Amino acid sequence: MKTKQQIKGYKSEFIEFLVKEKALKFGEFQLKSGRISPYFFNASSFNSGETISKLGYYYAATLQEMIPQSTLVFGPAYKGIPLCIATVIALATHFDRDIGYFFNRKEAKTHGDQGILVGHAPVDSDQIVMVDDVITDGATKQEAISMIQAISKAHFTGVIIAVDRMETNAEGKDTVSEFQSKTRIPVKSIVTIGEICEYLLGREIDGKVYLTDTIYQKIDKYLQTYCIRH
């Protein structure tokens, strides 16, 4: 398992950020799919003002590089809500771009503002990018996209996730590729598991090697079983 793409500065910073904040752990973890994974990414570890601010910067940097034409950031409830807010704050602070954000409600509101969307309402000319932590099967994201497209003719320019696990779904198909095929919306990640392994293998960070050759071999074996994209 190797990636040929050069790992950019913000990507390497993000990888170190993941392990320092214990958002990325190595060991043995049972996933919702039932698979036993040798690593686990948990976006809930970013639960303070400082960490969510830093996380927003990495989403903003990815947006600026890969989907710069976007005019609106959408975060699907619930995990996407702090992500979209942190992203637009980072865009304004670090990239001098002041754009809107919005998110959806999961429950219907029966008083006051009864709309399903909260924040900057999309208009037909908007170019929307969705931000979320990962893609599991893509179903909830497809539902959110359909809901927004029923309200507005705004165009989705992309989806940004934190970590691309590069895995197949339950049907043995590439999860990200399937989502892109169904929605015609490109998916970008701050980093992939391939980039994480390439950067972390044997590297000492603050006096600790997080990814040893033994752990790497377990991840490589896991991806040989479940990964069809290199």
**Which residue of the set 109, 153, 182, 230 is catalytic?**
109
The three-state (H, E, C) secondary structure of 175-196, written as one string: HHHHHHHHHCCCEEEEEEHHHH
| 194's tokens | 């391939």
What b/e readout covers 173-208, taking b as 16+ CB neighbours within 10 angstroms? Answer: ebbbebbbeebebbbbbbbbbbbbbbbbeeeeeeee
- CA-nearest of 224, 229, 222, 228 to 31 is 222
94 belongs to the catalytic site: no
Q: Which entry of 4, 22, 32, 111 is annotated as an active-site residue?
A: 111
- Interatomic CA distance for residues 85 and 119, integer angstroms: 10
Q: What residues act catalytically?
A: 109, 111
